[in-house]
Amino acid sequence: MARKTLGGMSGIASTIARSGPQAAKDRPARSSAPALGALQGSLTAIREIDPALIDDWGPRDRMEGFTAVKSDDEGEGFDALVESIREGGQQVPILLRRAPTDGRFEVIYGRRRLAACRELGIKVKANVQDLDDDAALLAKGLENAARRNLSFYEKARFAAMIAAAGHDSKTARQVLGLSASGLSHLNKIIDNVPDDVGDQIGAAPKSGRPKWTALADAFAGQKITASAALGILAGFDASMGSDERLDQLLKEITRRGARPAQSRETTPVEGITVKSGKAALSVNISKAGTNAAFGKWLDDNIDQIIREQYRTFTAVNDAD
């Protein structure tokens, strides 16, 4: 059976759209149903599937799994989800598609619910749909939009992974529900903030575009390097939440930028001036005055002096 294309997503997309805020004005409110209840009740009959038959698929929409730092409430939230399913059962099904391997499935969304069921050792309730990659991405993006709980940085990383998977910007905008300028804001973060730095910060769920843009600007303006940022982050307490890590990193970058330029000028011998700055060292040798002869001698021998001193330096310092 052919998988549905992005253009043929009317069943999933329209159902989610009908469950959105605008549609709520046109129908009685159902406070007991989650935002995606209409979607998951309308696609097909719910099946119970062994989690061992389910494989991961596609770009990750959350920082879980590719970040070194979890958000403040992430661990507690997952524990609460496990306990909720333990006590009341799984209320919201996940979405799967059939995998290329016969008898196996791929998870489109609902990874946390799947992980919770795995931990509990129970089958997971799921809808199984025939979806191609574009359709699956759209379903994932629309489900995220309905939940509205991806952080700004998670959206940026999700957009980058969509692009890395070969999808165009139009697909990324549709999946994330963004305008061209909105996607541009995300791309600025990805283009300038190194992934390993972002991994060490975490999802930062309470931090929006201004703070991440400030960090991107700092990297773009060479106010901080990846190695320096990682060094700063490594010094933070391990219990520090991701939002606080981002805040403290920005404060440290600002503090370092406010330091006066570290430069000095010395005159070890009359007629010889040494200027030491942040990025360079210069020596001014006068060939006139009291030490004119010494200045001329240095002019004739400076290359040899530097070569000898370099050999001495390298002999007592590792190549690293």
Q: Note the pTM of the prediction, 2 decimals.
A: 0.53
Question: In whole angstroms, what is the distance from residue 299 CA to residue 302 CA?
Answer: 6
Mean pLDDT of the region 270-285: 81
- The helix (run of H) or strand (run of E) holding residue 54 is strand 54-55
What pLDDT score was predicted for residue 212? 96
Q: What is the mean pLDDT of residues 113-132?
A: 91
> Is 66 within 8 Å of 60 (Cβ atoms)?
yes
Classify residue 1 by its DSSP letter. -
Please give the DSSP secondary-structure letter assigned to residue 133: H
In this predicted structure, which of 27-41, 96-110, 210-224 has the lowest mean pLDDT? 27-41
199, pLDDT greater than 70: yes
Q: Which amino acid is at 154?
A: E
Of 4-8, 201-205, 249-253, least confident by mean pLDDT is: 4-8
What proportion of the chain, given as a percentage, has pLDDT over 90?
29
Buried (b) or exposed (e) across 64-83, using 16+ Cβ within 10 A? beebebbbbebeeebeebbe
The proportion of the chain whose per-residue pLDDT surpasses 70, expressed as a percent, equals 73
The pLDDT value recorded for residue 28 is 36
Report pLDDT digits (tens) over 138-175. Answer: 777 667 655 556 789 988 988 887 787 777 888 888 77
For the CA atoms of 309, 312, 315, 317, the dihedral, rounded to the nearest 10 degrees, stands at -70
Distance CA 139, CA 57 (A): 13
Higher model confidence: residue 94 or residue 320? 94
Query: Position of tokens 């309470």?
Result: 206
* Residues 218-246 pLDDT 10s: 999 989 999 999 999 988 888 888 999 99
pLDDT at 268 over 50: yes
Confidence of residue 280 (pLDDT cuts 50, 70, 90): confident
| Secondary structure of 105-126 as H, E, C letters | EEEEECHHHHHHHHHHCCCEEE
Integer Cα distance of 250 and 221 in angstroms: 14
The whole-number pLDDT of residue 255 equals 87
Beta bridge partners, 97, equal 106
Q: Which of 22, 60, 55, 19 is nearest to 38 (CA)?
A: 19
* Average pLDDT score over residue span 296-312: 86
Interaxial angle between packed helices 242-257 and 226-234, expressed in degrees from 0 to 180 and rounded to the nearest 10: 120
Task: Give me the pLDDT at residue 64, please.
Answer: 53
* pLDDT tens by residue, 6-65: 444 434 333 333 333 333 333 333 333 333 443 444 445 689 999 999 998 865 655 554
136 near 162, Cβ under 8 Å?
Answer: no
215 vs 131, residue with greater confidence: 215
The letter for the amino acid at 51 is: P
Burial 32-45 (b: 16+ CB within 10 A, else e): eeebbbbbbeebee
The mean pLDDT value for 190-202 works out to: 92
Q: Give the count of alpha carbons within 13 A of 143, CB side only.
A: 20
Using alpha carbons only, give the angle 230, 207, 158 rounded to the nearest 5 degrees: 75
